[in-house]
Structure 1
Amino acid sequence: MSTNWTARDVPDQHGRVAVVTGANTGLGFATAEVLAARGATVVLAVRDLDRGRRAAARLPGDVTVQQLDLTSLASVRDAAAALRATHPRIDLLVNNAGVMYTPKQTTRDGFERQFGTNHLGHFALTGLLLDALLPVPGSRVVTVSSVGHRIRAAIHFDDLNWERSYSRAGAYGQSKLANLMFTYELQRRLAAHGAGTVAAAAHPGVSNTELVRNSPAAVRAPMDRLAPFLAQPAAMGALPTLRAATDPAVLGGQYYGPGGRGEVRGYPRVVTSSPQSYDLAVQRRLWAVSEELTGVRFPV
C-alpha cells in the first residue's frame, strides 16, 4: 500500500451493502462513486429523489436511491424501515449529509436546523439501522465531522436549539462536535456489547463542494475566491471517509482527516479532535439527551 492512501487503496467491496446519506452531490457522491466502482451495493439516501436518481444514473454498478429527509424524524423512521426491509444486512453506514451556516431555521420537529440535521437525524438513523449492522462481520458506522467542530463549538445543553440567540458558526460547530461525541460514545457502547461493528469518524478538510451555499455573502465571497488555491476537490475530500469506511487497519473510535498542514488538505491519516470532544461526561449526557429528543433507543 502506498504511503499516500488514495482511492486505489480501497479494498474490493463486492458483497458489501453501503448506505451513504447525502450522496447525490459533493463528498457523498464522491464516496459512493468509489464504493460502487469497487463493487459495493450502494444506496444513495437523499432528500431529493429526482436528484438522487440523476446521481445514481452517473454511477457504476448496483446503485439504488432511498428517500431520506434528515430534518424529519418521521422520514428517518420511514427510510430506516424501508432500508431494513430491502437490506436485512448492512455492512456500512456513512453519515455524510449535512448543512452548514444556515440562517436560523428549525427542522420539522422543531430542532435548530444544523443540530437537528447533522446530529439528531443521523443519531436516529444509526439507532434504527444498527440491528442490521451488528450481525455483519466488519460492519462500520462512519460519521463525517468537520474542522468546524473546533470553531465556537460547545454543546449548549441549556439552549441546544439556539432559541435565546443564534450564531450560524456556533450552531454548526455544536453539530459537528456532536458528530464526534456521538461516534466516541457509540464505539464505547459497541465495545462493551462485544460487537464487531466499528464506529469511526472523518472530516474532509476544506473541500470545494456545495456545502458553503448557505454561508453569508461576506463569508462565501472570499471562500469562492480562495477555493482554487485552498480547497481540494471533492474526490480528495472524500478520502478520509473512504479510509475510515474501508481500510482494514481502522480501529474503533479513530478520526481521519487530511494530513496536510492544519488538516486543510492532503491524503488521509488518523488525526485528533478537540480536547472537549473527548469529555466522557458530556458524551454520555449528549447521548441521553439525543435519545430523549429523537425517541430512538440503541440496541447497545
Structure 2
Amino acid sequence: MLSFSSSCKSKTRLDGKIIVITGANIGIGKEAARDFYRRGARVILACRDLNKANAAAEDIKTFPPSKPEREQFKGEPGEIKVCKLNLCSLSSVQECAAFLLQTEPTIDILVNNAGVAACPYQLTEDGYEVQFQTNHLGHFLLTLLLLPKLKASPSSRIVNVSSKVHTCIYFGHIDYEKLNSKRHYSPLGAYARSKLANVLFTKELAQRLKEANINSITVYALHPGVINTAAARNFFTAWFPGSGTIFQMFSQPFTKTMEQGAQTTIYCSVDEEVGKESGEYYQECAKCFASALARDKDKAIELWNKSCEMIGIKPIKDINEFLETSHSNLLNPSKK
C-alpha cells in the first residue's frame, strides 16, 4: 500500500444530494460511491451489468469506508440505486439519460468514471473504436443529455476521470481520419487519445458553460493514480506482452488500493474550495498542469465539434440554445 497517497480531507455532508456514477460496480467508482453514500447522498450506479451493480449496491450498504469514524460519515447514510448504462451503445446512453431525466428532480454530481484500457481492437455497435467511445464519446453524450438536471441544481459538478497517460505526446494526437482504423490501431495509443479527450472535453465544456453564463455547473478532470486493476494490467501487458503475472508480483508496493485511488474523485466532487474552480485538472487531491496538448484550445474546439458530429448533431455553439431547441432530439434512440 502506498504511504504517500493523498486523501480527501473534506468533511462535507451530502444529505439530499443526487449523484450519478458510471461504471460504479467495481474499482474506484465503487469506492467513491461508498464514500458518497456514507455522506448521506442518493447515489445512482450507472452500469452495464445490473446484476453486478446490485451486488455492488449491497456491498456498499453493508461495508463502510475504512475510516468511518470521520465526521462526514457520522450522520445517516443515503440511498443506493442502480440503472443500466452501456457506453458502447449510444442508444443505451440515451435510454439511461431519459430514465434519469424522468425519475430524478436534479443531479448534483455526475462522475464520468467508467472506462476500459489498452484492450484489443474492437468497434462498438455505433462503428467507433471501443476505447474512444467508452472513455469519451459515451460520456460526452450522457453529459449533454443530463445538463438540464445538472442545471436544475443550485450548484452541480461534472467530474471526468482521465489519466496521466494523456500526457504521452507520442500517442496523444487525435487523428480523426484514422480513429476507427484497425490498421492504425494501438491499444496504448487508443487509450492515451481517449484520456486526452477527457481533459480537452473538460476544458471546453467549462469554457462553453462560462460563455452561456451557466455558473452553477463546474467541471473537473483528474488522474486517480496507478491502481492494481484489470485495466492497469492490460495497460502494462500491452507494453510487455505476457507479463501479467510479473505485474501482479511486483506492482503491489507501487500501486494504490481502490479506496486510495478514489480519493481525487471524491475531492473533486465534494471539496469546498474546488467548487470555486472549473475546467481544471487534478491529481493527488490537488490542482496540477495538464499536458500542453490538453491545454490546446483549438484541439478542444475540434474535439467538441467532432464529438457532436459523431453523436449525430450539428456542433453546439451555444449551450442555452441547445437546451432550448435541440436537447430533446438527442433523447430519441436511433441506429446509425
1:162 equivalent among 177, 181, 189 = 181
Structure 1 residue 237 corresponds to structure 2 residue 256: no
Equivalent position of 1:147 in the other structure:
164
Structure 1 residue 41 corresponds to structure 2 residue 61: no
Pairwise CA distance, 1:220: 3.0
Indicate how the Cα distance of structure 1 residues 38 and 111 shifts in structure 2: closer, same or farther if over 3 A, else same.
same
Letter matched to residue 110 of structure 1: G
The structure with the larger Rg is 2
Equivalent position of 1:128 in the other structure:
145
TM-score with structure 2 length normalisation? 0.82
RMSD: 1.6
Equivalent position of 2:18 in the other structure:
17
Structure 1 residue 178 corresponds to structure 2 residue 202: no
Indicate how the Cα distance of structure 1 residues 213 and 68 shifts in structure 2: closer, same or farther if over 3 A, else same.
farther
Q: How many Å separate the matches in 1 of 2:195 and 2:101?
A: 27
Given that 2:160 and 2:221 are in contact with CA atoms closer than 8 Å, whether structure 1 keeps it comes out as yes
Q: Count matched residues.
A: 288
Structure 1 residue 204 corresponds to structure 2 residue 224: yes
Pairwise CA distance, 1:5: 6.1
Q: Which has the higher contact order (CA 8 A, sep 6+)?
A: 2
For residues 1-300 of structure 1, the aligned pairs below 5 Å read: 6-60=7-61, 61-151=78-168, 152-195=171-214, 196-212=216-232, 214-215=234-235, 216=237, 217-250=241-274, 251-258=277-284, 268-295=285-312, 299-300=319-320
Pairwise CA distance, 1:8: 4.8
TM-score with structure 1 length normalisation? 0.92
Given that 2:233 and 2:247 are in contact with CA atoms closer than 8 Å, whether structure 1 keeps it comes out as no
Over residues 147-169 of structure 1, what are the superposed CA-to-partner deviations in whole Å (9 max), with x where a residue is unaligned?
Answer: 11123211112212234321100
Given that 2:10 and 2:272 are in contact with CA atoms closer than 8 Å, whether structure 1 keeps it comes out as no
SS in 2 for 1:218: coil
Q: How many Å separate the matches in 1 of 2:118 and 2:6?
A: 31
Q: How many Å separate the matches in 2 of 1:219 and 1:168?
A: 16
Q: How many Å separate the matches in 2 of 1:111 and 1:21?
A: 20
Pairwise CA distance, 1:183: 0.3
Equivalent position of 1:262 in the other structure:
none
Pairwise CA distance, 1:18: 0.2
% identity of equivalent residues: 40
Over residues 213-256 of structure 1, what are the superposed CA-to-partner deviations in whole Å (9 max), with x where a residue is unaligned?
Answer: 54444353333223211101111111111111111111101211
Q: How many Å separate the matches in 2 of 1:148 and 1:220?
A: 19
Q: How many Å separate the matches in 2 of 1:111 and 1:191?
A: 30
Equivalent position of 1:263 in the other structure:
none
Given that 2:24 and 2:33 are in contact with CA atoms closer than 8 Å, whether structure 1 keeps it comes out as yes
Q: Which runs of 5+ in 1 are unaligned?
A: 259-267
Over residues 255-286 of structure 1, what are the superposed CA-to-partner deviations in whole Å (9 max), with x where a residue is unaligned?
Answer: 1112xxxxxxxxx2111111110110110011
Letter matched to residue 279 of structure 2: G
Indicate how the Cα distance of structure 1 residues 19 and 10 shifts in structure 2: closer, same or farther if over 3 A, else same.
farther
